[in-house]
Amino acid sequence: MTQPAATARPGLSADATFPADFAWGVATAAYQIEGGVNEGGRGPSIWDTFSHQPGTTINGDNGDIACDHYHRWEADLDLMAELGIPSYRFSLSWSRLQPTGTGPLNPEGVRFYRDLLAGCTARGITPYVTLYHWDLPQALQDDGGWPARQTAYRFGEYAGLVAESLGDLAEHWITINEPMCAAFLGHSWGMQAPGFKDDGLAVRAAHHLLLGHGLALAEFRSSRPGTKVGITNIIGNLNPATDSPADREATQYWDAVSNRIFLDPVYKGRYADPTVAAYGKYGLTAAGEGAAAGDLVQPGDLDIISAPGDFAGINHYTNMLVSASDSGSTPNWTHVEPAPSSFGWSNTPEALKAVLKRVASEYTDLPLYVTENGVTFHDYVDPNGEVRDPRRIDYLRGYISAVGEAISDGVEVRGYFAWSFMDNFEWAEGYDKRFGLVYVDYGTQARIPKQSAYWYRDTIAEHGGHRALASSAAAGATA
Ligand code: IFM
């Protein structure tokens, strides 16, 4: 592997501490990296359909080939191991495993993921597996998608089959990634699959995604009692733009409909009053009280959704200033400065610390994992063949320090997964946004570790993470 050019290696904050068994990792998701969409018996997903509709993605990009990880996974895992990364979070393509979302699993899909999981272990990399990262089988969309209650039950069945066929190969399982995006970006904002602009559909999808989480957790509990299971929510940090009562109220409203709608049911067993106040018109009730057949929230749903998991996954990217809007209930928001990323998102690590402290103090005693955090810049290969990304190093140094400081302050954070291992298909933004620690040349599929990958390698090693990789590689070799 090309070695890095000499570069400053700024260390983490002196106040940051990390337990010896801290999971240092990177994350990806199936549709964003795999490609091979028509291979191995895979069925179409809503992202295949959506991204092939004109005008849905930048440059008309789609995940047909993506990073071609379906064919290059062994080299990708080799590179991950060479970079000293001990933990890898990736997602399963539901429609590769169960092409129409019902019926038995596709043996070729099972074989692919069994090989991938075994490949991780053989290299000493601990897998963290996500069951659903937004790529619903199209056949289930044709039957109503997440706004339809039966989709939650289909997801529970899929989870049960996955637990049986793959559950022996990984300890940590994440049910759903960012139900907020799947529900609202996909059904209300229209910018992600399946591309609807209907708040009522989004609220129904939100509840059914949470119900699906609970049903999947129950399946793992019954067939794989040794596994650890949780849901990953994306949690933004919200600040009122001014001290005015209107801006403070707008911030609480935004919190209720973007963060609390997913946190309160899972960790407190009820939708919060302000969330119900906002979305009662779409049938949301606190816990299904007085429900009739066919109502959105049924009695018992919140018991399923709030059954105790083993950890709480947190993805964090945004720190926002919220202000009241003159027109309607949807507040205005902007990103707190400095906001240098090519998405215009903030570089304000204290926001991640605030989110971790909030979840620990207001929601749960469960261990927390930062299952995603990262930044996109317009990276390019320089004439020396290197990708210099000092701003990403600065970002990672700040955010990982914030995690370590939260740990020093008593928050139990067990892992950090940088988004992303490599550049990939950034949904509606196509290949325009590069979040990777590893640069991908999409013309040749060459992987070029950016400076930040080497910085992360050294940081992991300095903080003892490489020992996890070495010891589990040794265990894998003797297994
Ligand atoms: O790329 C996405 C990922 O799929 C989900 N979390 C946010 C990332 C960056 O937008």
Q: Residue 465 — very low, low, confident or very high, per pLDDT cuts 50/70/90?
A: confident
> What are the tokens at 468?
């996890």
In 3D space, the residue among 190, 180, 202 whose CA is nearest the CA of residue 56 turns out to be 190
Q: What are phi and psi of 101, to 5 degrees?
A: 80, 5
pLDDT beyond 70 at 1: no
State the pTM of this model: 0.96
Ligand 1 pocket, 423 CB below 6 A? no
Q: What is the mean pLDDT of residues 403-417?
A: 98
- Cβ atoms 85, 128 nearer than 8 A: no
How much of the chain is in helix, strand and coil states, percent to nearest 5?
Answer: 45, 15, 40
pLDDT-derived band at 464 (thresholds 50, 70, 90) equals confident
Is the CB of 29 within 6 Å of ligand 1? Answer: yes
d(CA 76, ligand 1 centre) in Å: 19
- Identity (one letter) of the amino acid at 249? E
Interval 148-175 mean pLDDT: 98
The mean pLDDT value for 194-217 works out to 98
The pLDDT assigned to 327 comes to 77
Tokens linked to 349: 């690590």
Q: What does the pLDDT average to over 452-463?
A: 96
Query: Where residue 14 falls among pLDDT bands split at 50, 70, 90?
Result: very high
Q: How many CB atoms lie within 10 A of CB 441?
A: 11
Closest by CA to 31, choosing from 54, 61, 64, is: 64
Whether 109 shows a pLDDT value over 60: the answer reads yes
451-455: list long-range contacts, CB under 8 Å, 24+ apart. 451/4, 451/5, 451/7, 451/386, 451/387, 451/388, 451/389, 451/390, 451/392, 451/393, 452/389, 452/392, 452/393, 452/396, 453/83, 454/3, 454/4, 454/7, 454/83, 455/7, 455/9, 455/393, 455/396, 455/397
Ligand 1 atom nearest residue 426's Cα: 1
Residue 26 sits at φ, ψ, to 5 deg, of -130, 160
pLDDT value of position 476: 55
pLDDT at 215 over 60: yes
Q: What is the mean pLDDT of residues 243-251?
A: 96
Q: What's the whole-number average pLDDT of the chain?
A: 95
CA 375 to centroid of ligand 1, rounded, Å: 10
Does residue 219 line the site of ligand 1, with CB under 6 A? no
pLDDT at 477 over 80: no
Q: Ligand 1 centroid to 426 CA: how many Å? A: 7
User: Which whole-number Å values give the CA distances from 95 to 47, 133, 181, 184, 418, in the listed order?
Assistant: 11, 12, 19, 22, 26
Nearest to 424 by CA among 1, 21, 133, 82: 133
Tell me the per-residue pLDDT of 356-392, one tens digit each, with 9 for 90 and over: 999 999 999 999 999 999 999 999 999 999 999 999 9
Q: Is the pLDDT of residue 451 over 90?
A: yes
Please state which of the four CATH numbers 1.20.210.10, 3.20.20.80, 1.10.287.470, 3.40.50.2300 is assigned to the domain occupying 23-478: 3.20.20.80
- What is the 398 CA–ligand 1 centroid distance (Å)? 19
| pLDDT given for residue 385 in this prediction | 97
Whether 310 contacts 228, CB under 8 Å: yes
The band of 330, judged by pLDDT with boundaries at 50, 70 and 90, is confident
> Which helix or strand (DSSP H or E) is residue 166 part of?
helix 149-166
Query: Measured from the CA of 343, which atom of ligand 1 is nearest?
Result: 10
CA of 424, closest atom in ligand 1 = 1
Distance 27 CA to ligand 1 centre (A): 10
Q: How confident is the model at residue 6 (pLDDT cuts 50, 70, 90)?
A: very low
Enumerate the domain spans of the chain: 23-478
Percentage of residues in the chain with pLDDT exceeding 90? Answer: 93
- The 3-state secondary structure of 182-218 reads HHHHHHCCCCCCCCCCCHHHHHHHHHHHHHHHHHHHH
Residue 473 pLDDT greater than 80, yes or no: no
Say yes or no to pLDDT of 9 above 70.
no
Pocket test for ligand 1, best of 426, 433, 434, 440 (most atoms within 8 A of CB): 426
Average pLDDT, stretch 44-56?
98
Nearest C-alpha neighbor of 95 from the set 149, 143, 47: 47
Among 28, 181, 232, 235, the mutation site with the greatest number of ligand 1 atoms within 8 A of its Cβ is 181
Most distant pair of Cα atoms in the chain: their distance: 67
